[in-house]
Each structure stands twice: as C-alpha cells, then as structure tokens.
Structure 1
Amino acid sequence: MNIRFLSVFIIAASISIMLFTFFMTEPEKKSSEPTPPFFYTISPKDMNKIHIKTNNLENSWYFDDELNRWFFENLNKIPTDLYRWGGITQLLSGPKTQRVISQQIDDPIKYGLDDPKTEIKLYINDGTYIKLLIGNLTPDQEKNYAQIEGYPQLVVVDALWDSVLSRLVEDPPYPDWYISGIVEGGKPTELLLFKDNEVIRGYGANRESGIWFVCEIPPASEPCRGNELANGDVLLEKIDKIANPEIVGAHYLDIVQDENLHKIFGTTVADPYIYVRIERLTEKDFTEVTAITMTIGNEVEGENSRYAMIMETLDVVKVNKEWADSILTLFDDEVLYK
C-alpha cells in the first residue's frame, strides 16, 4: 500500500475516533427551564400529617411515632387499614410531573385551578407544609393540570395518581374492624354464640318468611334450624347493635398469637364469641354470604370500656362497656323464645 495513502488513512481514522469520542462523552446540556419544587425531595418519614379535600369531601391523617402507624385525625385512635394505606406516603413523596406546560399560568379558570378538584396538603416535620392543587383533566383524559400553591408553573400529573388519592376521601381506608351497619342489601339469617370454642346457642331465620327460630345445638345446617320460635324483634335489635359497635379506639395493634396476651385482654378462644351470618342477593341472583364476628373481652381497668376483637383481625380495640354488656346478655341463661 502507498505509504502516503496509509498515513492519510490513519490520520483520518484518528480524527473520526476523536470526534466520535467527543460526541459520546460530551455531557448533555441541562434544560434551563426551572423545575418546580415537587415532592421528590420529601421523604415519607418526614411527613407527619396529610390532608386531602376533593369534591366537597375531606379527611386528614396523622402519624403516630410510638405506634408507627397512620391514624384518622377526626376519629379517636382509629388507624388506617394497612393494606389500603400501604404505599400512600411513597406515592405522595414523588408525584412526578408529565411535563411543565407553562412557566406562568395565564388563566387559572381555564385549567380548573381557581376551584381545584383536589387539594392535597402535606405537613412536614420541620413545621412547613406543601399544598398541591389539582384541576381539570387534559383533553386526552389521561392527566390533570396541577400547580403547587405559591409557585406559578402549570404542570400535568397522571390522572391515576389523583384518582388513587381522591379515593382515600371518597372511600376512607378504615380498618376491617371499623364497621358501621350491615352491608347494603344484606339480611341477617343466623346468630351463633360461642363459649369455650363451642356453640352454646344459636338462632336462625327462614330466608323466605324471615321468621326466627331457636336452633338445635350443635347446628346441622347453615343457617341453623330449629322447631321453636324465637323473638325475632329482640334478635334483630341485638344484631343491629352488634353491627354498629361503639368503638372507643384501638388499643393493641397486630397482636401476636400469644396466649398470655389474649388472657390479659379476655380475647382467647374460650371467651364469648359472636357470629352473625349476613346474606345478600346479587344482581345475578347469587347469594353472597358475609359475616360479622367479634370476641368481647375483659373490662378495661379504670375505664368505662371492654376489650374486643372484631372481624377476625389482629387488633385489640376498646368498646363502650354499656354497649358490650348489652350484647353479652345474649349469653345469659334466658333463651330468646317468642
């Protein structure tokens, strides 16, 4: 090969490699567009209170350091449901924007930010707070216009993000034991009373007539059956009370299966246990069966309350003593005959 040609080829190749290396290694120029201070810098552990308002509904939650749980602010010692609440603070810590639409909002009314659909207020441990305003959906229905209060930028956030957080207000994440009434459309058809882990008494209702009977023990069917009429009016009154427990607040969360602890609270398998069978006919004529269950335990020393465990959860709660005592009369010697 011609030496001159070879030299030119080597020089050209070297220049190409240098240019390639330069373009590959030159740092990307950062956008000069200012970024609004969204939640990326907020750690979930730095939040101590959350307030959400949407569609004229609102709710607040606070973090209890000692119990390491989030609680409803407007209720007495009622924690959030772990399953529903899991990941919420992480979600709030970083609602990444899709993009900045404008550095200055020209007309808040146009984007629904004059009267926001949702307002989210995060309280931080240092005493400050951040308030996010969420407005109308974008034309593609996939995002919402949004703004941080006090900052002029107009951004969009994922509509699903707003939907998940709004649901916390529209359908609050109460724990399973925080019940208030029988499920809509449901009818009680059986009441069983247990002691020492055995059924000691039962009442069952005829599905068609609604007439209640004192059941034969042990029960041989579901719902249980019997030949003697029971006082249906009194039973329905008691069941309504059972379905609306007067909860004072949570006492011991996530109790372990320690027999000694259960003895202290009076929530062992030997203690009074109540089972109410609820049946509901679905739109497809399918009978859906649910239940209300609870163990009513010992009196709380120095308080007008008793311990209880409701809906098979691992939380020990406190309930009003008068309410509990009125339920415990079901275990008296007197059977509720018609």
Structure 2
Amino acid sequence: MKMKSYKANFLCAIIVFIICIFTSNANACVAYDDYSPVDLSGSIPDVSIQRDAAVGSILFTQTYSTGKDMNQGFASCSTDPSAVGTYTLYGVGAAVSGYKNVYETSVPGVGITVATGDSRYFFSSPGQEVPFAGTWQWSYWGRSYTITLTKINPATGSGNTGQIRAVMSLSGINPDPVTISLLGANIKTLACSINNTTFSVPMGDIPAADFTGAGSTPKSSTFDLGMDCDADANINITLRGTQTPDSDDMSIISLSNYGQPGVADGVGVQLLYGGKPINVNELINLEKSSGGQESLPFTVRYIQTKGMVKPGSANATLTLDITYQ
C-alpha cells in the first residue's frame, strides 16, 4: 500500500512540472489593458511607368501614419527566448537579387518594399525576427509605414500587384500589433507604336548656285513621324549620325560616302523639330502624349558648310532613337 501511495505522488509531481513549463512559454509577452492594435487598409494610386525608365527607378513611394503615440507602451516581454517580434510580408514573390528588402510583385519588373516609419525594420518574406525583452512601445517604427515600388528589370509589364499584407506579430499577443492590408496597385507601362519605321525623304535636284555661302539653306523637305501612344507617355528622341568634319556645328550630318568621287562637297544635312536643329547624340524631349495618334512633323534640309559647293550626289542616312522616359 505504501508503494502505491508513493507512485501516485510521483506522477502528480510530474504533471505539475509540465504545466508550469507550458505556462512560462505562453506568457513570454503580455499586452497592457489598454492595448489597441493597428489594423489599416491602404491603397496605392495607379502608377504609370515610362517604358525606358532606368532600372532601379523609384516608381512610387509614400508614408502612411498609424496614428500611434511613439511613447505609448502596449506590451511587456520577458527574457524568454521566445519573446520576439516578427515583421512579415505576405502576397509577394521572391526577394530581388541585388536589392535590399525588395520583393517581386505579380507585375513583371516591379518590386515592392514595406518599411517601418524609421526604416529600422522591414517587412520581409519570410519574416524578420526581432528579439526584445522589456516594454514594447510604438516608438518611431510604429508611428508610420512606408511603401515603395521600384523598377527591378529593364522590361516592365502592366497589371495589378494583387493584395499584399504587412504583419508585425509579437509572441503571445493576439490580435497582432500591426496588420496593414494593401489593396492591389494598377500598374501601366507607357509606350508608343510607330506607324512607319523607315522614311525616304526626296530632296530633288538643287543647283549649286542656290547655295549662297556657308550656313545657307536653299531647300528643305518635311515628313511626319506618326505614332500611337498611351496617355502621359513622354516621347523623346536622339539623333544618330556622323557629324560632318567641315563644321563644329553638332547638328550637321555628313553626307554618305563623304569625300568619295561623285559625292557633293561643302554641304551637309540638318534635321529640325519645331524649327530648331537637333544635335547629334542629344536626347530631346518632344512632348508628353495626350493619348492616341500623335503627329510629329520633322524637317530635313541641306546646309552649306564651306565657301564653295561642289556638285554631286548628296544622300545621307539619319537614325532616330525613340525612348519613353
């Protein structure tokens, strides 16, 4: 009978010990009586991307307030190793190589970053753990959060990023201290389509006598670069060609086969937009499209580069690089 009594006491001691250990882990952090979590829904305005914007460009960034007092405490945590805060980002893809705290969205070429107000902590996938014992205050990190969209690839798509959630959880605290639900952002990559990529501009025959001195421009012809563009697309051009060796003027293009027999001498070619000559290799912003068909009229003309003009063929090839920045 004594042995049975001893065994019963022994089993009871083990049960009590297990319960004590479980209770200790559960109380790693305790919320204050006036604890009130952050539960916000935010939206990102529609974002338009110029197709040729540089990789790494910030497409959108904005800071949102949570309305919390930085000095207000909301929970107390023990020194137990399980007392950690975790900053997690849901609804995103993989971390982007070469960038810090940037994650892929469902729109190709567009990455997202969600940071606490002081940029001390970043919501990540998987979550970033922050061990801390003592009083948790909203401090600078809890007063606001910042959303940033970044161009992460040369080519970007269009579409909706889908819903993304940023959650800060704390051991033993329910509901989570911070839950930010971001409604999907509509992303549109802007560009234009060109009606014709090759132009032949006939200049006709011009008597050498029509050139009256260096800088004279006896004849010109026009052509229209027709384009169909998205609204707000920034249309830029860069003129490519070989500058004539006869002048320091960077807008004068050399004739094809310059200096060869049968080729005219003392004359070059200029391309103008809005009545102004365009320099070689210089990026020129033409306009921001209002959307739809765009008519972009250019003028081509000969210009005398020497005191005398020698008759001959006067052909030239010019290339226009069109970008949207």
Same fold (TM over 0.5): no
Compute the TM-score of the two structures, normalised by the length of structure 1. 0.24
Which is greater in Rg? 2
Please identify which structure carries the higher helix content.
1
| TM-score normalised per structure 2 | 0.25
Q: Relative contact order, CA 8 A, sep 6+: which one is greater?
A: 2
Structure (1/2) with the larger strand percentage:
2
